[in-house]
Amino acid sequence: MKKLSIFFVSVLALGLSVACSSDDDNASIEGKWEAYQDGTIVNGKETLAPITSEGGCSKGFLEIQAGGKVIDHYSSYSNSKCEDHTDNGTWTRTDNKITFQYGDDSQDTGEILVLDKNTLKIKYTYTYNNEVSEIYIIELKRK
């Protein structure tokens, strides 16, 4: 009986230590993130669909690097051919807000909804005339 009690306490302690420790608490945003699904929020309900690539082209991915550098890798399909492209930019993060800037004109700031070792989900809210005109959500998976 004593052995059974020691075994039970050992299993319980192991379970509690696994449940209480999380690599996700300090997940790094740096890395390669492949586009997985995207969508919007309609009537308070998030609706996402898998991102597919036209013509068998590679899915896009973000390469978020240390020092605030980001490389956006994407493909276009035209005349039955895939063409790969990259855009270089910068990124900054403050709390749960992330901003990507490409050149002088293109800047997007989104709210990080999920960041763990496998998933990065960002919500972008666009306004026009001080009213929300579009909400866009993208979910990326670590590559």
What confidence score (pLDDT) does residue 23 get? Answer: 44
Computed over every residue of the chain, the mean pLDDT equals 85
Looking at residue 53, its pLDDT comes to 87
Residue 137 pLDDT level (bands cut at 50, 70, 90): very high
Residues 6+ apart with CB under 8 A from 118: 141, 142
* pLDDT for residue 7 is more than 50: no
How would you classify residue 4: left for phi > 0, otherwise alpha for psi between -120 and 50, otherwise beta? alpha
Residue 32 has pLDDT above 50, yes or no: yes
**Where do the DSSP E strands lie in the chain?**
31-42, 45-50, 61-64, 69-78, 81-94, 97-102, 106-115, 119-128, 131-142
pLDDT tens digits along 42-51: 888 999 999 9
Total-model pTM: 0.78
Place 140 in a pLDDT band, splitting at 50, 70 and 90. very high
